[in-house]
Amino acid sequence: MTLPLIDRRHLDFVLHEVLDVERLFRLPRFASHDRPGADAIVDTAARLAADVFLPSYRHLDDNEPIAENGRVVLPAATGAALEAYRQAGFPAMTAPMEHGGLGLPRTIANAAFVHFQAANISIANYAMLTSSAAELLAHHGTPSQRQRYMTPMLEGRFHGTMALSEPQAGSSLGDIRTEARPLPDGTYALRGSKMWISGGEHDMGENIVHLMLSRIAGAPPGVKGISLFIVPRRRLDADGRPAIWNHVALAGLNHKMGQRGTVNTVLNVGEGGDTIGEIVGRPGDGLACMFTMMNEARIGVAMGAVAHASAGYRLSLAYARERLQGRHPDQKDPASPQVPLVEHADVRRMLLQQKAVAEGGIALALYLARLADLKAAATEPPARHDAALLLDVLTPVFKAWLSEEALAANNNAMQVLGGAGYTRDFPLELHYRDNRLNPIHEGTNGIQAVDLIGRKVTMAEGRGWKLLLDTMQATAAAAAIADPELAPLGARLGEAVERLGRTATRLTATAGDRGRRHAYAHATDFMELAGTTVFAWIWLEQARRAHGLRAMAPASGRDFLEGLILTCRHVFETVLPRGEAAAGRIAMDAAWHREMTDAMLG
């Protein structure tokens, strides 16, 4: 019997009590689904994750992919797990039924997928990349491209990648150089070098579909000159079967600190032979198309971070309950039995921080998934539009703020175990190493911070931003009039949202170049302010529901609900004040970033 790495009771609480996903099943698009079916899918994911993904978690860290004659050799466990995942139908879970998918709400699919991420992120990554690539083609591919490339991905036969970065262009995608030369038949010959490509080469499945950014010869510099291409590892023949090699050459592997089971490659295209690509969308629209996949990947990354936080919490909690060590300060008799670690207040503190991140993170992850569902399936256009805006605004906050907090949670998980946590005999150090990638990839957290203040706050005349503030204020107001226990929390959230709104207004008020540099210099402070506020809000949403249920709950369920309310209070006492401090730093507008020259750094 494996320890569950995601607490199912809490997951169900979020799905059914906080988010009321059954309302989604009433939307025409999801009408063929129901709660028993959704529960069964989550059950299956939990079981497969424990039985097929988890056992090789350490093995894949010890046995990194190796390159042999231009091919990548992966441990067999990876392909075996993905085959079980495929057979259970997971690759096509969320794709619309008209595209051959199961049309499951993303909320349910993500509640399932987080189990795979918690159990073995290195394998889950392949599945996530393929799903996101399929999603991109569902949106931007032609019917023929969907049929030839997307359908095999939904069937789990082809894999997908994102091929964006280049050695000289990571965060600065406008500087990519890979060139696409138009061929007479409408396809393109690509030539260049791509860096940091996860799953860029391996022998699983029948083919790899690289979604590759490139410049059509003569395109303008910068992002406006970027187009998107389907670049298969093996070209398809007339019947859509993978045939000859497309000269996507493995130029090297990146050896990482963690997530070692996900092969990360340097790829050269157009070397020693043509690499043929098909354009997706219009020339120059490459980055916009890519963002369909990128946004999904960012949410996936943060969900992975939350999965690690949850795994770390469950594992360190179990250890803390079992391991006897020390006594309370007032237990003077050295011959008295030692108490379990969980009894010590300082250990309790480290557990509670983890609980807050793990469960607040799950709630936020599924809230975002529900926004994606409403964006795709709400019956009224304004509802779809609002959901899209809110999702856009929340994505960088979820990605950046939660991935930092989740790493801090894994740090605490290790610390609870002490020396044991630092050894490779326990999985905590591996979760910690794996999780450390999340603040970096799919746009570093610095990039996310700049995206939030530099773009998301002001986009669509600030309507998405206002929607977020209004949504959080509604929760605050509802709590404030609820009852004496929640009212102070409602009032404090209200103040925090006010502060967030004011700060955003001030930071974006100074027009022109000086204003932008000023805002960028405080981007991470602003992210801290936004993240702490959003986190307090999602916790208050959980606490409100828990509070409503508590009176009627049987004794057996009351501890669980009470624990949520106390955790919410703990978040308000320990996390929310950090936002206030960040607002203080912005208001002070400390001069170091202007006064400190490079030479002064030493």
Residues 251-290 that bind a second copy (CB under 8 A): 254-258
**Which tokens is 52 given?**
């097929």
Q: How far is the CB of 202 from a second copy (least distance, A)?
A: 19
Give the integer Cα–Cα distance in Å for 220 and 209. 26
Binding mask 556-585 for a second copy (x = CB under 8 A): ---xx-xx--x--xx--xx--xx--x--xx
Which residue number, 181 or 578, has a Cβ lying nearer to a second copy? 578
Contact 176, 290 (CB under 8 A): no
- Bridge partner residues of 21 (DSSP): none
According to the binding rule CB under 8 A, does residue 478 interact with a second copy?
no
According to the binding rule CB under 8 A, does residue 550 interact with a second copy?
no
According to the binding rule CB under 8 A, does residue 450 interact with a second copy?
yes
- Region near a second copy per CB under 8 A, out of 71-79, 218-226, 269-277, 501-509: 218-226
Residues 301-320 that bind a second copy (CB under 8 A): 317
Give the integer Cα–Cα distance in Å for 110 and 108. 5
| Integer angstrom CA distances of residue 557 from 9, 369, 392, 482, 553 | 10, 27, 36, 22, 6
According to the binding rule CB under 8 A, does residue 23 interact with a second copy?
no
Which residue number, 258 or 270, has a Cβ lying nearer to a second copy? 258
According to the binding rule CB under 8 A, does residue 590 interact with a second copy?
yes
According to the binding rule CB under 8 A, does residue 16 interact with a second copy?
no
Q: How far is the CB of 239 from a second copy (least distance, A)?
A: 38
Give the integer Cα–Cα distance in Å for 354 and 412. 7
According to the binding rule CB under 8 A, does residue 486 interact with a second copy?
no
Binding mask 66-85 for a second copy (x = CB under 8 A): --------------------
- The total number of residues written for the chain in this structure: 602
According to the binding rule CB under 8 A, does residue 347 interact with a second copy?
yes
**Which tokens is 54 given?**
């988890």
Give the integer Cα–Cα distance in Å for 23 and 544. 19
Q: How far is the CB of 563 from a second copy (least distance, A)?
A: 3
According to the binding rule CB under 8 A, does residue 488 interact with a second copy?
no
Contact 54, 120 (CB under 8 A): yes
Give the count of alpha carbons within 13 A of 362, CB side only.
33
What burial class does residue 592 get, using C-beta atoms within 10 Å of its C-beta: 0-12 exposed, 13-18 middle, 19+ buried? exposed
Q: What is the DSSP letter of 161?
A: E
Number of shown-chain residues binding a second copy (CB under 8 A): 108
According to the binding rule CB under 8 A, does residue 217 interact with a second copy?
no
How many CB atoms neighbour CB 510 within 10 A?
13
Which residue number, 289 or 317, has a Cβ lying nearer to a second copy? 317
Residues 495-534 that bind a second copy (CB under 8 A): 512-513, 516-517, 519-521, 523-524
According to the binding rule CB under 8 A, does residue 474 interact with a second copy?
no
Which residue number, 240 or 326, has a Cβ lying nearer to a second copy? 326
**Which tokens is 241 given?**
């079967």
Give the count of alpha carbons within 13 A of 540, CB side only.
33
According to the binding rule CB under 8 A, does residue 10 interact with a second copy?
yes
Find the distance separating the first CA and the last CA of the chain, reported in whole Å: 55
Contact with a second copy (CB under 8 A): which of 144, 338, 505, 510? 338
Q: Alpha carbon 250 to chain centroid distance?
A: 27
**Which tokens is 574 given?**
């320990």
Which residue number, 169 or 459, has a Cβ lying nearer to a second copy? 169
Reduced to 3 states (helix: H, G, I; strand: E, B; else coil), residue 277 is: strand
According to the binding rule CB under 8 A, does residue 598 interact with a second copy?
yes
Which residue number, 243 or 342, has a Cβ lying nearer to a second copy? 342
According to the binding rule CB under 8 A, does residue 345 interact with a second copy?
yes
- Region near a second copy per CB under 8 A, out of 299-307, 329-337, 384-392, 495-503: 329-337
According to the binding rule CB under 8 A, does residue 455 interact with a second copy?
no
Which residue number, 386 or 451, has a Cβ lying nearer to a second copy? 451
Give the DSSP letter string of 33-75. --HHHHHHHHHHHHHHIIIIIGGGHHHHHHS--EEETTEEE--
According to the binding rule CB under 8 A, does residue 553 interact with a second copy?
no
Residues 386-445 that bind a second copy (CB under 8 A): 407, 411, 414-415, 418-419, 421-425, 429, 432-433, 436-437, 439-441, 444-445
Binding mask 138-177 for a second copy (x = CB under 8 A): ---------------------------x--xxxxx-xx--
- Region near a second copy per CB under 8 A, out of 89-97, 108-116, 533-541, 590-598: 590-598
Which residue number, 1 or 600, has a Cβ lying nearer to a second copy? 600
Give the integer Cα–Cα distance in Å for 310 and 305. 9
The CA dihedral of 501, 506, 511, 516, to the nearest 10 degrees, is -80
**Which tokens is 506 given?**
């001030």
Q: Which residue carries 């996936």 as its tokens?
A: 300
Cβ-Cβ contacts under 8 Å for 272 (sequence gap 6 or more): 247, 249
Q: Residue 596 carries which side chain, given as an amino acid letter?
A: M
- Region near a second copy per CB under 8 A, out of 147-155, 233-241, 456-464, 587-595: 587-595
Residues 351-390 that bind a second copy (CB under 8 A): 351-352, 355, 359
Give the integer Cα–Cα distance in Å for 414 and 100. 44
- Region near a second copy per CB under 8 A, out of 122-130, 138-146, 341-349, 362-370: 341-349
